[in-house]
Amino acid sequence: MTPLQGFSKDLFLNQQVVITGAAGGIGRAIAAAFAECGARLVQIDLPEAIPPNQSGWIGCDLEDRPVLMRAAEQIKGPVAVLINCAGIFRRMAVTEPDAETEWDRTLAVNLTAPYLLARALIPKLTGGAIVNVTSVRAETSAERASAYTVSKAGLAALTLSLADELAPLQIRTNSVAPGDVDTAMGHGDPSVAATLVARTPLKRMARPEEVAAACVFLASPLASHITGSTLHVDGGFLVV
């Protein structure tokens, strides 16, 4: 059974879905899942990551605030769903020389950009949904990854704040929190990945398509009375 089996092929028929980090492993799977459900996609990623000769893409360095704001202006409403998936992760101890720079960069991409993009799209999102891709690291530490951990914890907190603040506009805001996912980022350090899989009850990484299915569910009318929640796609990682 595929993760999307059971979802209607017209669940998001002709509805506009905006996805950041759409060229990455999880982002690509999310884009494919929404496309399979009939959505019209606006995909955002670094210019050098965008496939050549493809429409529906916006090249944007999310770390650059003016560039991000110009990208948001290119998105014409209405928007049914915003998926904040883009994220960066680099292991670096707080004592390393470049730690402060990495802190600023990680928080800019992983936390500030989702806030700014959500804020810019609110007028186009009335009645829509926001899904933030956080991480189990929002709730537990990771070795030499304070910037990433804090950025994802902040994004989880932002989810709660937006769920409360945007409810009068009927905009639902939720999070999907993956554990280790079978992507290039997830395989960054083989020894670390092996250790994490070993302590995961299901004994494997998530497939990107499994994370995508969770995003589709939370954005859809199937979750019409769910807001401010986090759906963990972690194979039970947090229960042990």
Which region holds residue 236: left if phi is over 0, alpha if psi is between -120 and 50, else beta?
Answer: left
The pair phi, psi for residue 51, each rounded to 5°, is: -60, 145
Instruction: Count CB-CB contacts under 10 A for residue 88.
Output: 18
Closest to 218 in 3D by CA, of 5, 23, 11, 2: 11
Tokens 């929640």 -> residue: 229
Look at residue 18 and give its three-state secondary structure.
Answer: strand
Q: Is 115 a catalytic residue?
A: no
Identified catalytic residue from 34, 89, 148, 217: 148
Torsion, Cα of 88, 94, 100, 106 (10° steps): 10
CA distances from 53 to 50, 56, 188 (A): 9, 10, 29
Q: What is the spatial order of strands in the sheet that 16-20 belongs to?
A: 57-59, 40-45, 16-20, 81-84, 129-133, 172-178, 230-233
Please list the active-site residues: 148
